[in-house]
Each structure stands twice: as structure tokens, then as C-alpha cells.
Amino acid sequence: MEKQRGHVIVLTYPAQGHINPLLQFAKRLASKGLKATLATTHYTVNSIRAGGVGVEPISDGYDDGGFKHAPSVEAYLESFKMVGSRTLNELILKFKHSASPVNCLVYDSLLPWALDVAKQLGIYGAVFLTNSASVCSMYWQIEHGLLTLPVRPEMVPLSLPGLPPLGVSDMPSFIAQPATHSAYLAVIMEKFSILEQNDWVFVNTFEDLESELAKVMSGLWPLVMVGPMVPSAFLDQQIEGDTDYGANFWEPVGDRCLRWLETKPPKSVIYVAFGSMAEIAAKQVEEIAWGLKGSNKHFLWVMKESENEKLPVEFLNSIDETGLVVTWCNQLEVLAHQAVGCFMTHCGWNSTLEGLSLGVPMLAMSRWSDQPMNAKFLEDVWRVGVRAKKDEEGILRREELEMCIKEIMVGEKSDEIRKNASMWRESAKSAVSRGGSSDKNIDKFVEVLLVGRSK
């Protein structure tokens, strides 16, 4: 049996926001002639269906329920490292005597132990960073001693190469409050300590979007920009039938949402969604509800079933056809709809890239992790939206929300915001289209694996 070159295992952390970009990367690789297999946990494997990509389970030590069955973040990450290393090794060896033995492992940056597995088996190892390059550059500078933690008052605003001046509220929460997120920060810093040991360092962004950083960091770190990782149907249309990510932990209610949107005028609807992991305090839910109601705009609000009880009953009874509250939907289809004129988002990196890729103005309500920095760029660097201000309790009040909606939808800046949003959409499309910056970077990687040339 003749052996073929070019089989990549793509290993993902089992969260929707990590699976989506890594699965999309696997589809990109498969569309260019590689054999691509997504490795994920037993708990999530049945939620994934993707044309052209194989899906195989490995164990995190909690096969029946995943992360929620672990006693702590630390315990889960340690279990995944120990059990995941062994079962990933077994998965790669399973293909050793097949027509397509594995010659590269692309792994989620939250799982840095995977590089050891690749090295032990003598195959290429590549990390995939799921944050922006700008956020990653801050961790890189901490690792290289150019930025020390904790950030003290006299250090603010921070002035770092390729980045705008940053206040404490602009920084990733893992940096702004390192003691609060020690388990995740430890994993993040571990991956940056071994960054140069990878054969490739991929990041889900594109050169035009972070051009200042790309120029400053050129030659200093081995970053390869390959994004945005958004289904092809919404950008370049190079991958046939690629209309969604192919991973769903919740049952979407897309038809109902789209039917409702069809009844609304162009650019009249505020789409509100805070990501798959969001848990919002009841007081904040109430303020958002009355802020949306007070804006006198149509709105489509995605809210997990467990959060629905936080909505005021009198609010639900008063919205009629003005608003629609659903438990889940196909976010890309909604953002692509002509009726949507504003995306109110938590500014997770995937959602930020989707808003940019679909050319939708954004209203930022960031909470933690990389979200504050994404919100900073959204307003001050890319100029595609407005960042909502919270009060001293950390609550976004209804009056502030109404004011932000007005500024985006009908205010003095609205035309400029819409124009910039359209510009970034075209830039994102260009990056992943044939011959674009991200497309060329992926082609170089594929060529190494298919032809066997040295990188």
C-alpha cells in the first residue's frame, strides 16, 4: 500500500469558541489537498459534523460530562494533559500503517503539552493561537521580560510596540488581574515559553487587520497569520458547501430568526449575543432589556435557556414584534442578513472576526479574557463601533446603552462606522481569497506537508 504525504491532526480545546476556528482551519487544509482529522473530546465529538474532515475522539479524563464534572479548572487542565497526551499518542499511532500516516499535529494553544506528543513521535508540531496577534504580543512580551506583572498604576497607560496606548480597562483580564485567573495564565505563559519550539505558529487574524503589529514584530517572533477562520460561504466561497462551522452544542433556531428578520427593514435590527459561555448577572440583564426597549429599535437577543429567567416578565410582555428572544441561532446567517444594522457583542475574538467579516457595526460590552482589548481595537483602531461604558458597579446602564445604540444607528459617526465596517469586510475577504495574504500563508504550509519540502 503506497503511503501518501500530508495528514494533519487538528487538536482542539472542547469549547465552542475554540472548536469553531480550529475546525474551520481543518476544512481549509482539506480543501487544499491535505487529509485533515479533528481530534476532540468524547463529550464533544458527537456535536461535530464537517464535510471533508474526519473527527476522532481523545480523552480528557471526563468522558461522560467534560469540564463541568471536574472539581476545578486546575484539575481539568491537569487531567487533560495526562490522559490527553496518552490518547492523542494512540490516535496518531493508529494511522501509522495506513495510507495516510500523520505527519503534522496542529494543536489548540490552550493545550501546550501536545507539542511534546508531536516531538516524541517525530512529526511536525504547530500551535494555533485563538486570540488576536495583538493580545498574543502582550503575553510574548511578558515571557521575554519586556512587560512585568502585576501592572502598577505608574505603568499606565502602557505603551507597547505595535499597540495603541492601553489603560488597565483595555487589557486582557489575565494581565489586568493576574491573581484572579492564575490557572489559565499559567497555561498561557507555558505556551509562550515554548513558542519558538513549534514548526509553525498560526494565528486567527490577517495582516491588514493588525498591520502595525505585523510590521513591528516581523522577524522577532514566528507568527503566521491565516485568518479570519469564518466559513467560506460568507467570504471567499472557495470551499463548496461550507455554510457553517459544523459544530453545534445547542440546537439553533435559525429558520424562526430568519423569518422574523425578513419582516424588518434593512439595517434596522440590533443583534445581541454574548457568546456560548456568558453568564450575566440578573441586574445587568434587566438593564440591557430596558435599554433595548428604550432605544425604539428592533432587536434579536440570543440568551441561553438558563439565563431566560432573569428577564423581567413585564419586558417580555411588552416587546410584541419589536423584539425576539431566542436560546440560540446561526450567528453568521443573522449577521449576513440585510436587516441587521448593529451587533451588540461581548467581543470574544471569534465574534469580533465574524462582525468584521460580515461588515456589521458593533456595540462592545466586554467582560473578561481578551475581550476588553478587542473592544478597544474595535472602537479606537478599526473604528467599526462603540464601546459601552459601565458604572462603578461594573454595570452597563440602560441610558448608556440607549446612547450607544443611537450613536451607531443614527448618530454623527454612524456613516463613518458603516463605511469602515464595509472596508474591513472587503479586507477580510481579500485575505482568504485565492492569492490573499492568509491564503498564501496556508498554501506554503500545505506545500511542505504534501511535497515534503523543508519549511
- Are the beta carbons of 149 and 223 closer than 8 angstroms? no
Write down the pLDDT at residue 1.
Answer: 38
Is residue 325 located within the same domain as residue 235?
no
Is residue 295 located within the same domain as residue 321?
yes
Is residue 423 located within the same domain as residue 323?
yes
Is residue 211 located within the same domain as residue 95?
yes
- Reported residue count of the chain is 455
**Per the domain annotation, does 2 fall within a domain?**
no
Write down the pLDDT at residue 65.
Answer: 82
Residue 51's closest CA among 239, 210, 307?
Answer: 239
Residue 326's closest CA among 346, 311, 343, 341?
Answer: 311
Is residue 355 located within the same domain as residue 441?
no
Which neighbouring-strand residues pair with 387? Answer: 364
- Are the beta carbons of 220 and 162 closer than 8 angstroms? no
Is residue 371 located within the same domain as residue 396?
yes
**Per the domain annotation, does 277 fall within a domain?**
yes
Helix (H) or strand (E) holding 142: helix 133-143
Question: DSSP string spanning 347-373?
Answer: --HHHHHHHHHHT--EEE---STTHHH
Write down the pLDDT at residue 73.
Answer: 87
Query: What is the rounded CA–CA span in Å between residue 150 and residue 133?
Result: 21
Is residue 390 located within the same domain as residue 361?
yes
Euclidean distance between the first and the last CA atom of the chain, given in angstroms as a whole number: 27
- Are the beta carbons of 434 and 239 closer than 8 angstroms? no
CA distances from 29 to 8, 10, 23, 37, 98 (A): 8, 10, 10, 10, 20
**Per the domain annotation, does 363 fall within a domain?**
yes
Which neighbouring-strand residues pair with 343? Answer: 271, 362
State the cell numbers at 432: 482568504
Is residue 204 located within the same domain as residue 79?
yes
Give pLDDT tens digits along the chain (455 positions).
345 579 999 999 999 899 999 999 999 999 999 999 999 999 999 899 888 999 999 999 999 888 888 999 899 999 999 999 999 999 999 999 999 999 999 999 999 999 999 999 999 999 999 999 999 999 999 999 999 999 998 999 999 999 999 999 999 999 999 988 888 888 899 999 999 999 999 999 999 999 999 999 999 888 999 999 999 999 999 999 999 999 877 666 668 899 999 999 999 999 999 987 778 999 999 999 999 999 999 999 999 888 889 999 999 999 988 999 999 889 999 999 999 999 999 999 999 999 999 999 999 999 999 999 999 999 999 999 999 999 999 999 999 999 999 999 998 999 999 999 999 999 999 999 999 999 999 999 999 999 865 44
**Per the domain annotation, does 397 fall within a domain?**
yes
Domain that holds residue 234: 7-246+434-449
- CATH number where 265 lies: 3.40.50.2000
Query: What is the rounded CA–CA span in Å between residue 6 and residue 450?
Result: 5
What is the number of other CB atoms lying within 10 angstroms of the CB of residue 130? 26
State the cell numbers at 345: 457583542
Domain count, the chain: 2
Catalytic residue among 60, 64, 69, 108: 108
State the cell numbers at 251: 440546537
Is residue 124 located within the same domain as residue 233?
yes
Write down the pLDDT at residue 253.
Answer: 63
Write down the pLDDT at residue 2.
Answer: 46
Write down the pLDDT at residue 374.
Answer: 98
**Per the domain annotation, does 348 fall within a domain?**
yes
Is 18 annotated in the active site? yes
Catalytic residue among 18, 181, 337, 346: 18
Give the single-character DSSP code of 177.
Answer: S
Is residue 181 located within the same domain as residue 262?
no
Is 69 annotated in the active site? no
For the entire predicted model, the pTM comes to 0.95
Within 8 A by CB and 6+ apart from 50, the residues are 23, 26, 27, 38, 245, 246, 247
Is the preceding omega at residue 312 within 30 degrees of 0, hence cis?
no
For the range 308-314, what are the long-range contacts, defined as Cβ-Cβ under 8 Å and sequence gap of 24 or more? 310/280, 310/281, 310/282, 310/285, 310/286, 311/285, 311/286, 312/286
**Per the domain annotation, does 455 fall within a domain?**
no
Is residue 412 located within the same domain as residue 445?
no
CB crowding 68-95: b at 16 or more within 10 Å, else e: eebeeeeebbebbbebbbebbbebbeeb
Write down the pLDDT at residue 254.
Answer: 62
Rounded to a whole number of angstroms, the CA Rg of the chain reads 22
Write down the pLDDT at residue 304.
Answer: 86
Query: What is the rounded CA–CA span in Å between residue 41 and residue 66?
Result: 8
**Per the domain annotation, does 454 fall within a domain?**
no
Is residue 215 located within the same domain as residue 325?
no
Write down the pLDDT at residue 247.
Answer: 86
Helix (H) or strand (E) holding 315: helix 313-318
Which amino acid appears at position 149 of this protein? L
Residue 129's closest CA among 349, 393, 331?
Answer: 349
**Per the domain annotation, does 1 fall within a domain?**
no
